[in-house]
Structure 1
Amino acid sequence: MKKFKIKLFTTILASGLSLSTQAADSLNIYAWAESIKPELISEFEKETGIDVVIDSYTSNEDLLAKLKSGTTNYDLVSPSQHFVDIMIKEGLLENINANSMPAFEAVDEKWKNQWWDKSSEYSIPFAYGSAGFTVNRDLYKGPANSWKEFFEPGEALKGKIAVFATPDEVIPAAQLYLGVPFCSEDSSEMKKVLDLLTKQKEYVAVYSSDNIGSRVGGGEVAIHSWWDGNSLKARKIDSAPIEYAQPKEGLVGWIDSLVVPKGASNVNNAKKFINWISEKDNATAQANYYGHSPAVAIDLSKSIYTQVNSPELFPTVPVVMARSCSPKAQKLVDRVWTSLLE
């Protein structure tokens, strides 16, 4: 798993400091890789005296597995909507009375009391966007307006396709293309998904959610699964010759929220950080760094992303939010993915 750290993770010192003493001035965050602006972490530390440590992950599945292992020391994590739902149902999150926090007042009304946290007690929405695919325009000159280019590429693209390493957004994308409902419990429909992915496999160079920018931007592959804001930043900041596709069948939607794992040692510090980063100036700086759409109010006059210069964030096609599945449907998803990678 790819990791970066703002500080080295410290252990209890030999001098005998207790865990409770350390907890008073610590905050351990587990977040999407490169998702939080480092300068904001430094500012938060200076203002509060709280030492922040960050580890990173690249998939919701990794995060869920880590929390279910019960061996983490994390105080704050940021799962996507369907995983918030799963984590609440499995008792993996603290009820932080999110709807009474100052941060909640900054949340866009459309994201409050949603199906993944109907009472808005566990989560504060953080950022949202879409998962689709990006094409390298030096290597691929064809259209980028259908999932067909990704799932049923031409012979010239054999070995030039790269796909996310986990099924979370790949299988929903295949379902959008085939017209199969998300979380289908119909084995015959999911067989169609497996057949599609199996046929695509001979064109796939790698299944990976790491180093996507260098892989597609550098021309190792011509088409790669990716997220809207990441593709945007690679195009604008790195001047990569890429384009984020707008498939007519739709994009897979996501919204990440800030939540506190059950049993966290530093719940109050986590809530302080959530409130702090949701303040308008901080939220604006964070949104400009992250490159995804903010779920809380920002200063639009200071936003560097607009509909004109950032089409990735303003899709012209439907965005369909991924959902948590029933045990029966999830079993079919797992079976499809396991069969694919055998």
Structure 2
Amino acid sequence: MKTLLSASALALITATATGTAAQAEGNLNLYVWADSINPELIATFSKEYDVKVNVDSYTSNEDLLTKLQAGSSGYDLSTPSQHFLRVMIDEGLIENYGANKLEAFNNIEEKWRNQWWDETQEYSIPIAYGTAGFAINSDLYKGPTDSMKVFFEPEGELFGKIAMLSYPDEVVGAAQLYLGVPFCSEDPDEMKRVLDLLMAQKPAVAAYSSDNIASRLGSGEVLSHFWWQGEVLKARKGGAPFAFAFPKEGLVGWIDSMVIPKGAPNQENAVKFIEFMSRPENATAQMNYYAYSSPMKVNAEDIIYTPENAPELFIEVPIEFSRTCSPAAQDLVNRVWTQLLQ
């Protein structure tokens, strides 16, 4: 979701298939979370449909929204999170491609269908869901992780050794969970409490950055970093001494969905890719690669993650999904973040 594709993966993705054409041809231009789509699936799709797949990536919903608001992006498929998806529908930035009439719709787990971000399920098909919270370097930090207090009010060895993301979305949400302030609050006094908390934390923050998180945490530059649980899982599986915290106050949830930007030049191929990614066998391969939970029907016997080897995916604390806020509420969030970073 949040790291850059390797050169080898890009080469695999963008290579034009040499097999016989099947049902489609041409190009497909993806603008998705960095390193979020299984390169082997993209290569298989490319070969099966004789489509050259080009991939660009972003590291925040804000970047995606700005790109689509500018118009004429040239992209055929993107994967916004739920609260930004709602904004994109309301602003007419994505196509109604009749998602609820696709076979992909039938492959969505029942609880994820027709949710508030796309009530009629005409604009989107979900692809992954997860949470954001804080991770630690477990070799270097042995203290408690059962409360957001240790992150938002760091003391001792954590002071000066924590890092945040570079944008407010999930960070402000986590602060609201800690303080008991409702998401999308329009109360200036409540949001002043959020600002006061983040300003008091600021002297202890080594960086506000969404890049190079693994290296920053792994090198010991910081002992704790705001992050996403799937990234922690993948890094830990690769040998990094990382652990994801499960604070009693809960975690910020997100769900990403496949959408087609307005005016996409290759909409037919985008729909075919959505159908392809939603097949149970491909949703299974995607979950195994991405290390986030799938909202699609999967082949459970082929999923490599279990509560024993991947506790990051089996969360027992409360999860609060980010919501699409009113302009007044979003303005307060923006003000909090602007004042914090001044």
Q: Is the 8 A contact 1:246 1:315 kept in 2?
A: yes
Distance in 2 separating the partners of 1:314 and 1:2 = 22
CA displacement, residues 143-179 of structure 1 (integer Å, 9 cap, x when unaligned): 1111111100003223211101111100000000000
1:287-306 equivalent positions in 2, closer than 5 A:
287-306=287-306
Partner of 1:15: none
> Secondary structure of 2:198's match?
helix
Distance in 2 (alpha carbons) for counterparts of 1:8 and 1:298: 25
Worse-superposed segment, 130-139 or 249-258: 130-139
Q: Is the 8 A contact 1:123 1:257 kept in 2?
A: yes
Offset at 1:138?
1.8
In 2, distance between residues paired with 1:231 and 1:3? 15
- Whichever residue aligns with residue 292 of structure 2, its letter is H
In the alignment, the residues of structure 2 paired with residue 52 and residue 7 of structure 1 have an alpha-carbon distance, to the nearest angstrom, of 10
The letter of the residue matching 2:321 is: M
Q: Measure the CA separation in 2 of the matches of 1:156 and 1:218.
A: 15
Distance 2:11 2:62 in 1: 25
Q: Equivalent residues in 2 for 1:49-60 (5 A)?
A: 49-60=50-61
1:84-123 correspondence to structure 2 within 5 Å: 84-123=85-124
Change in 2 beyond 3 A, CA 1:188/1:217: same
Q: How does 1:1-342 map to 2 (within 5 A)?
A: 4=5, 6=10, 25-236=26-237, 238-342=238-342
Distance 2:310 2:43 in 1: 28
CA 1:24/1:265 → structure 2, altered by over 3 Å: closer, same or farther?
Answer: farther
1:274 aligned partner, one-letter code: I
Letter of the 1:279 counterpart: R
Give the distance between the partners of 1:116 and 1:61, measured in 2 at CA: 17
Structure 2 unaligned regions, length at least 5: 15-23
Deviation digits for residues 174-206 of structure 1 (CA, Å, limit 9, x no counterpart): 000000000000000000000111111111111
How far apart, in 1, do the equivalents of 2:287 and 2:143 lie? 32
Report the Cα distance in structure 2 between the residues aligned to 1:100 and 1:30, rounded to whole angstroms: 24
Alignment check: 8 A CA contact 2:13 2:43 kept:
no
Please give the secondary structure, in 2, of the residue aligned with 1:130: strand
Q: Which residue identity does 1:34 align to in structure 2?
A: D
SS in 2 for 1:170: helix
Q: Offset at 1:228?
A: 1.0
How far has the Cα of 1:9 moved from its partner? 11
**Could you state the TM-score of these two structures normalised by the residue count of structure 1?**
0.93
The range that moved more, 69-78 or 285-294, is: 69-78
Deviations 1:37-84 (A, max 9, x none): 111111111110000001111111111111111141110000000011
Q: Check the 8 A contact 1:92/1:262 in 2, yes or no.
A: yes
Q: What's the C-alpha RMSD, in Å, of the aligned pairs?
A: 1.7
Runs of 4+ with deviation above 6 angstroms: none
What is the identity, as a one-letter code, of the residue corresponding to 2:203? E
Q: Is the 8 A contact 2:3 2:35 kept in 1?
A: no
1: distance between equivalents of 2:220 and 2:261? 39
| Aligned-residue offset at 1:8 | 11
Residue 202 of structure 1 aligns to a residue whose secondary structure is helix
CA contact (8 A) 1:134 1:225 kept: yes
Deviates more, 1:116-125 or 1:32-41: 32-41
Count of matched residue pairs: 329
| Contact 2:12–2:39 (Cα < 8 Å) also in 1 | no
Partner of 2:21: none
Structure 2 SS opposite 1:28: strand
Contact 1:8 / 1:53 at 8 angstroms: preserved in 2? no
Q: Tell me the amino acid that sits aligned with residue 200 of structure 1.
A: Q
Distance 1:72 1:8, change over 3 A: farther
Contact 1:130 1:254 in 2 (8 A): yes
Tell me which residue corresponds to 1:16.
Answer: none
| Structure 1 Cα separation of the partners of residues 208 and 134 of structure 2 | 13
Note the C-alpha offset of 1:217: 2.5
CA distance in 2, matches of 1:24, 1:290: 27
